[in-house]
A = this chain, B = another copy of it.
Amino acid sequence: MFTNNTIIRVRYSETDRMGYSYYGNYATYFEVARVEALRSLGINYKTLEDEGILLPVVEYSIRFIKPAFYDDELLIRTIIPTRPTVRARFEYETLRGEQLLNKAWTELVFFDKISEKPVRCPLHLEKLLSPFFPT
């Protein structure tokens, strides 16, 4: 299991008339958290994409417990629970202090830009993740 924490502060533009951070924003927050999780491993997602490997989301699911408000500092905990293959699963928890605001997960597919086909997780990423998934 691999875990990484990222801090995100709720922007004014992200609030809605209920005063909440709009429920659609979490897809963006999790994408930022996911990229920071990869960066902490030494993987630059931009470079990966420039080298022809896209990582589109194929499934996304979120359960809301409490809302976040303007200027809240949120901690997004990103978890890679299993060794990526052609797919990679990321799980997320959004916390404000001790409070759990929501839980979510995404499934992504490694996708070759040229062949337009799913491909295995790139070898260098597999190696970097390997210590977190001992057999």
Contact = CB atoms under 8 A, between A and B. Distances in A.
A45 B71 contact: yes
Interface in A1-51: 11-13, 15-20, 22-28, 31-32, 35, 44-46, 49
Chain copies in complex: 4
A11 B13 CA distance: 13
A55 to B, nearest CB: 10
A57 interface: yes
A23 B56 contact: yes
Contacts of A52: none
Contact of A54 (B18, B62, B63): B18
A118 to B, nearest CB: 13
A114 to B, nearest CB: 14
